[in-house]
A and B are shown apart, each in its own frame.
Chain A
Amino acid sequence: MPETLFQKVWNRHVVKATDEATLLYIDLHLIHEVTSPQAFDGLRLARRKVRRPDLTIATVDHNVPTENQLDIREPMSRRQVETLRDNCKEFGLTLFDVHGGRQGIVHVIGPELGLTLPGTTIVCGDSHTSTHGAFGALAFGIGTSEVEHVLATQTLWQGRRPTSFGIEVRGKLAPGLEPKDIILAIIRQIGTGGATGTVVEYYGPAIEALSMEGRLTICNMSIEAGARAGLIAPDDTTIQYIATGNRPFAPQGAALEMAIADWRTLKTDDPSAFDRHVVLEADKIAPQVTWGTNPAMTVDVTGRVPEPDKVPFASSEDARRALDYMGLTPGTPITEIPVDVVFIGSCTNGRIEDLRTAAKVLRGRKVAESVRALIVPGSEQVRHQAEAEGLDAVFREAGAEWRESGCSMCLAMNPDKLTPKQRSASTSNRNFEGRQGPGGRTHLVSPAMAAAAAVAGHFVDVRPMLAQGN
């Protein structure tokens, strides 16, 4: 019987299986300040220890102010960050704290430090843990009770094994198009619940052509289609990334050779092993812009705000509520929607390639007077790399704000927020009501499209801008 990559990784982590539940071993547990305090409290109450401190890594990201990481003025945010510091000390865990050189969004630092490895299981109390699947790791988000369970046992109970869902992306992305456009196009096609109960594997020429950064963007948003996890089979690009970068936690020497030999076996034997399968043609994808309040409410930049009775996966009532919240009139061309704030960053698009793309658009251009543009590196390492390449100067000269690393305006848990009715072009992952601040209106786009909107003051097709250069 041919097996999928997902089944192979799952099978090698089964500690115990009953008819309807499986105890899975967890190879890496990432922790941040928001979803862990109650788990540590639980351990203390039961007088339990962390079973494997060496497989548990913590950082602070959600609450960290990006103007000055050291200056957390909001008392509740400060308390949450300090609680994590205290817990890491008490339980003997490695914490990558601000200004230590390795802090960043948990899903950005895992890969760049060489913690994220093919064939492993990775969990974190954060739904975007699916990001790490780009390396062929089975990675998924968990709740706080499960965080406590993993801390105490290094395992996790899973119910019925998810099914395998193959998403094949054929062809080649046209210039000006980005991985973000692929994943938005996928969610638009299958809906926000389209992959519930499944583990998605992305494959095909358009996926293989992507860098690790691009693959991370795709897997990151798997959860926005309801998937338990998203996977991409490891290949030369993956191995190159781990073996040649500065990855302090990755295996070295003989251990690395052994690991590589193993990673080469990690692929789906035959697409017939997938329980379900869809195909997308990359050549046909145009730059994507969300208009509504979930990531499936997406159209081409050349399109218009839809009529409420023509919205896939939503009742006309749901669609009307979304239009009303977003303050949009059906029939409005997307390129006539003005933006107030541009946010480039997050675990979806806060990596070095994303910043290079944004810089390509902004070089020699100016952010429109009416727009506030925030550019937020996903980690301290990304920030240092960008500064070494002079990207920060490009951003500043264009009139954008160059910030310190953190989750920033993705989720309104730190000072970077939209005010009510403010409209953003955002490279993050969720356009839910209030996600970027109460009453804020979020449109999800790629970094290139966000940078283009910053210059134009409204949404605009970035393709001609990139073609004409500066």
Chain B
Amino acid sequence: MEPFKTHRGKVAVLDWTDVNTDLIIPARYLKRVERVGYGPLLFADKRYVPGGAPEADDPDKHGPEAPDFPLNRPAAKGATVLVVRKNFGCGSSREHAVWAVAQAGFRAVIAPVKGEGFADIFEGNAYGNGLLPLELPEGEWEAIAEAGRSEQGAEVTIDLEALKLTLHSSSGEKTFAIEVPEAQRHRLLNGLDAIAETLLDEPAISAHEAKAPAWITPQPA
């Protein structure tokens, strides 16, 4: 996994609430067995002109982009930080949703209100893929979203080491503190493989298994 230390990039604002993972990537694209190639499939049914969604077996084959979709605005082109509303990523557990966001070039997603910004499974999947899910207080979120909606757009710098976010917009710079759980921060900063880390605790896992009641293991049938 690519480490995440500091990142500066343009923001794209999607002003919809309760964006579910079927919207982020429709189920027909989940038939792929690969782990890459999901970038063009992000918001496949919204991002292209009607009838222009990518082919399931060839994601790079798709119609022109729909000009009115918020991520296609000129100011959002090349954005690497996605600004969304509450309960982003609700619905299905598909990690393909995170793969699509990350492989479309995003490194972070910013949502309003601590504990309400992201659906639980999406949030966990995001960390697992080096995509930073940030929840900010409503006012700070609004400042970033408002700057991002402007004609010239905005950029942010996320400094995971110093735990701060700086908004760069036409009206100057503002810096906010950010919160990231320490274990996740450690993994992101170092780009660690979670499995290798867990296997350091193998003795504790074996000890737990040794005291499990016999009825817990499925009977051979």
- On whether A411 and B198 interact (CB within 8 A), knowing A35-B93, A38-B33, A127-B93, the answer reads no
| Any B CB within 8 A of the CB of A330 | no
**A149-B194, A318-B16 as given contacts; A434 in contact with B22, CB under 8 Å:** yes
Interface presence of A117 (CB below 8 A): yes
A131 contacts the other chain (Cβ, under 8 Å)?
no
Tell me the count of chain B residues lying within 8 A, CB to CB, of chain A: 62
28 A–B contacts from the bound complex (CB under 8 Å): A23-B205, A28-B218, A35-B93, A74-B31, A115-B218, A125-B95, A126-B92, A141-B93, A144-B125, A145-B128, A146-B128, A154-B205, A155-B201, A160-B181, A249-B218, A251-B215, A251-B219, A255-B215, A258-B215, A318-B17, A411-B27, A413-B27, A430-B92, A432-B23, A432-B91, A433-B45, A434-B23, A438-B45
Contact present for A413 and B28 (CB under 8 Å): yes
Residues of B within 8 A of A435 (CB): 22, 27
- What are the interface flags for B194-217 relative to A under an 8 Å C-beta threshold, 1 for contact and 0 otherwise? 111011010011001100111111
CB-CB < 8 A to A196: which residues of B? 87, 115-116, 119-120
B121 engages A15 (CB within 8 Å): no
Question: Which residues of A are interface residues toward B (Cβ below 8 A)?
Answer: 13, 15-16, 18-21, 23, 25, 27-28, 34-35, 37-38, 41, 46, 48, 54-55, 57, 62-63, 74-77, 79-80, 83, 113-115, 117, 120, 125-127, 129, 140-146, 148-149, 152-155, 157, 159-160, 162, 192-193, 196-197, 223-224, 226, 228, 248-252, 255-256, 258-259, 262, 294, 313-315, 318, 411-413, 430, 432-435, 438
Q: Are A434 and B26 in contact (CB under 8 A)?
A: yes
B75 to chain A, nearest CB (A): 21
With A25-B208, A250-B219, A411-B27: A193-B201 Cβ-Cβ less than 8 Å: no
Q: Report if A249-B221 is in contact (Cβ < 8 Å); known contacts: A34-B30, A318-B16.
A: yes
Q: Taking the complex as formed, is B86 at the interface, i.e. its CB lies under 8 A from any CB of chain A?
A: yes
The reply on B56 being an interface residue by CB < 8 A is yes
Give B23 Cβ to nearest chain A Cβ, in Å. 6
Contact of A21 among B86, B94, B183, B212 (CB under 8 A): B183
Cβ-based interface call for B173 (8 A): no
On whether the beta carbons of A54 and B95 are closer than 8 Å, the reply is no
B residues sitting closer than 8 Å to A (CB atoms) are 16-18, 20, 22-23, 26-28, 30-35, 45, 53, 56-57, 86-87, 90-96, 98, 115-116, 119-121, 124-125, 128-129, 181-184, 193-196, 198-199, 201, 204-205, 208-209, 212-219, 221
Interface on chain A toward B: helix, strand, loop, or mixed SS? loop
Given contacts A148-B195, A432-B20, contact A193 B90 (CB under 8 A): yes
CB–CB B93/A413 < 8 A = no
Enumerate chain B residues within 8 angstroms of A35, measured Cβ to Cβ. 30, 93-95
